[in-house]
Amino acid sequence: MNQYDYIIVGSGIAGLYTSLLAQVKGSVLLLTKAGINDCNSRHAQGGIAAAIGIGDSAELHYQDTIAAGAGLCDEEAVHILVNEAPDRIADLINFDVHFDTVDGAVALTKEAAHSVPRILHAGGDATGEHIEVTLSRMAKQSKIVILEYCLATEIIIDDGVVQGVRALDSRTGAVEEFRSGAVILASGGGGRFYKFTTNPDTATADGIALAYDAGAEITDMEFFQFHPTALRLPGVTPFLISEAVRGEGGILRNIEGRQFMYDYAAEGDLAPRDVVARGILTEMNKAGSDRVFLDVTHLPSRRVTARFPHIYRFCLVNGLDITETPIPVAPAAHYMMGGVKTNVWGETNIAGLFACGETASTGVHGANRLASNSLLEVVVFAKRILERKKEGVKPPDVSKRECFSLRDRRRRKASGKVPRPSLLALQSLMWDNVGMVRSKEGLAEAASVLASWQRAIDKPADRPFRELANIILAGRLVTEAALIREESRGAHFRSDFPAPSDTWLKHIVFRNIA
């Protein structure tokens, strides 16, 4: 009864899409630690990138992705991403995802660091939700076995080969084993690391922790993307204000009302996300303010409400009419570029273990994800997992990487009394010490505290403590990688090493070595 051809962990777009593809090939178990609709991908507002428009090409999309990745993209993976994009868009349309159209043609918009408009969207600014709801409905109507409120706690390995997973039913406390020779991690990222985040409560890096404990390689964890524009209102949870708002003509202004981004980049408001986020942070620090403003009041109000209905309604409910008043915004943690290291077929270094979506590090994002490439990465590489070909798969390139284990990292003593481990304490520690601007002293302090916390909750019993243990482990990986990388590149910025260095044109890889 507990034997399946495929076990998929996670019910976001990555998990749902992979499950729907896998059911054609065999029996599928989908494990999700919350309800099937509680996921991060439904919050994706901007859209999905694909070179399908007039004047666009896969080569242009490739060049934009490589440029954003700041020297660390895997060129083969990027070529696959951009060349397979149109076919994967066709697949989503066949799955009954309805992208927005203008005069019968798919509507395309432009986002930061894209050279041309190539972002497809659905429901204006609710693309992730539209895709996730469509796939969720199909999954519920399929033969996929869906177990909600079941948190995967261990990947079962025998002689270096995956045998299945153990999972905790958070409603009963029972732990059960499920057997399969193919386990696919699609459990999302770790945005709950940080005090200010666009991510939901479920984003606790569970797949990263599972994979690391099993011996899988984890890479590029120092590259965590902070979205430049999250709503900043007193008493209101940070809410993503899509990059597409700037793509449609929104202007960033400081508290004096001055457009400032041209002070930091020739592209102005459409510079890469890391540049915009740090530009905003600098303006906030100059003014002693906790916000800047994103202004769309100069745009036709009908255009704003039609293109961004979700953002408009959310702000209006919270007392802000964005067609009349600029939106107060500030950066917030958004997307984890690093993750479980895979090849271009989604395979890890453990036979039978795969990863896709934000949990995976396929190599396409490098040091800084190009906007709206994340949903595309999901559908491209999920498909490849189910179509993987053993013949002719190239061995991994190990020439441009440094390998570490957390066991090898020297233990440091914190400068003061270490607080008790808790999610709030973790979020403050990571925001203050491992945020958009980092330094050796702050990172070393965070590494010491995180190591102490990891030892303190070594054997968590219930879901909240398991999630805390997972996010502390993943937080250590982020922090230690950031401490090792003595340069600034993409989303990783060190105040004590503010420039990029060719010495660091390589990947930092962690692996749990017993």
CB 178 within 8 A of CB 167: yes
The reported pLDDT for the residue numbered 46 is 62
Q: What pLDDT score does 197 carry?
A: 95
Question: What's the residue count for the chain?
Answer: 514
Please report the pLDDT score of residue 41 as a whole number.
46
| Cα–Cα distance measured from residue 509 to residue 504, given in angstroms and rounded to the nearest whole number | 13
- What is the domain partition of the chain in residue ranges? 228-331, 407-510
| pTM summary value | 0.93
DSSP string, 446-462: HHHHHHHHHHHTSS--S
| 3-state SS assignment for residue 110 | coil
pLDDT of residue 393: 58
Beta bridge partners of 360: 340
What is the reported pLDDT for 318?
97
Catalytic residues: 273
CA nearest to 38, candidates 126, 125, 132: 132
User: Strand, helix or coil at 435?
Assistant: coil
Half-sphere CA count of 243, side-chain side, radius 13 A: 33
Reading the chain (514 residues) residue by residue, the pLDDT tens digits are 699 999 999 999 999 999 999 999 999 999 999 988 665 444 455 689 999 999 999 999 999 999 999 999 999 999 999 999 999 999 999 999 999 998 888 999 888 889 999 999 998 777 888 898 899 999 999 999 999 999 999 999 999 999 999 999 999 999 999 999 999 999 999 999 999 999 989 999 999 999 999 999 999 999 999 999 999 999 999 999 988 899 899 999 999 999 999 999 999 999 888 899 999 999 999 999 999 999 999 999 999 999 999 999 999 999 999 999 999 999 999 999 999 999 999 999 999 999 999 999 999 999 999 989 999 999 999 999 999 855 555 666 767 889 999 987 766 677 778 889 999 999 999 999 999 999 999 999 999 999 999 988 877 778 999 999 999 999 999 999 999 999 999 999 999 999 999 999 999 999 998 6
3-state secondary structure of 37: coil
Whether the Cβ atoms of residue 489 and residue 71 lie closer than 8 Å to each other? yes
Q: Which CATH number fits domain 407-510: 1.20.59.10, 2.30.40.10, 1.20.58.100, 1.10.10.10?
A: 1.20.58.100
Which CATH architecture fits 228-331? Alpha-Beta Complex (3.90)
Structure tokens at 28: 């599928």
The residue written with tokens 């808790």 in the block is 422
One DSSP character per residue, 278-344 reads HHHHHHHHHHT-S-EEEE-TTS-HHHHHHH-HHHHHHHHHTT--TTTSPEEEEEEEEEE--EEE--T
